[in-house]
Structure 1
Amino acid sequence: MENQQQTWIDLAIAAMDKAYVPYSNFPVGACLVSKSGKVYQGLNIENASFGLTNCAERTAFFKAISEGEQEFQYLVIAGHTPDPISPCGACRQVMVEFCEPTMPVLLVGDEGALKETTVGELLPYSFNGKDL
C-alpha cells in the first residue's frame, strides 16, 4: 500500500501542473482511486465568474462518475500550502455523496506535510441521501 500511496501522491501533485488558475494562482491536484483500481486525476479550473470555478476534488469525482465509477477507496488532495491542504465544504459534500465515511483521504501540503483523515472526519454529521 505504501508504494501505491506514493504513486497516488505523485499523481495528485502532477495534476497541479495542469490546473487552470489565472486568478488565484493557487493550483490544487487530486488523485481519486476507485474500488476497481482505476485512478482519476483532478485539478482546479477557475473562471472569471468565480462561482463557476470547479475544485480538483470535484473534477476527479465528476470525471470518474462520467466514466461509470461510483465506488471509491482512496483520495489524495495536494496543494501548495505549508500545512496539509484542506478541502472546501462543497468538495466534502461530494465526498459524502459517493464515499463511505471510513474512506481514507490523504491531505498533502508542501515539503512533505501529510495528514490522513477520513470522509466522515472531514464532514461529521453530514447531510446525505438517507436524510431525504
Structure 2
Amino acid sequence: MKNKARLILLLSILGITFYCLFVQPELLGVRISKSLNFPLGSLISWLGIVAYTLLLHLFIKLPTKSILLKVDKVLRYFHIGMALFWLPMSYFISGNLAFAFQNKPIAFIIWIGYTLVILFFPLILLVLKLFNRAEK
C-alpha cells in the first residue's frame, strides 16, 4: 500500500509538471519572488525531475549479486542526490533562479549536460540490471 501511495503521488507530480510544460506554459513564467527573479517554472521543473528520478527508482529493482548491489545502491543515492541538487546547481551554474544564460554559452552547455545526466542516468541502472540477469 505504501508503494501505491508513492506511485500515485509521483505520477501526480509528473502529470502536473507535464500539464504545466505542454498545456499551460504561461504558468511557468509566473514569478514566485520578484526580488530573486524566481519563476514558477523553475520550481515545477525541479519537482518534476525529482519525481521522475524517484519514480524510476521505484520501478527498477535492485540486483541480487552483492557487488552489483553495492554499486547499484551508490549509483542510486548519487542519482537522487543529483536530482535533489538540480535547483541549487542550476542556480550556481546560471547565476539566477530564472536560469537565464545571457552571454554564457559554456554555462548553458554545462547546465544542459547536468540535466541530461539526471534524465538518462536510469539507463545505467537498467544496464546493471541486464548485466545481473546475464550472469544468472
- TM-score normalised by length of structure 1: 0.26
More helix by share: 2
Q: Which has the higher contact order (CA 8 A, sep 6+)?
A: 2
More strand by share: 1
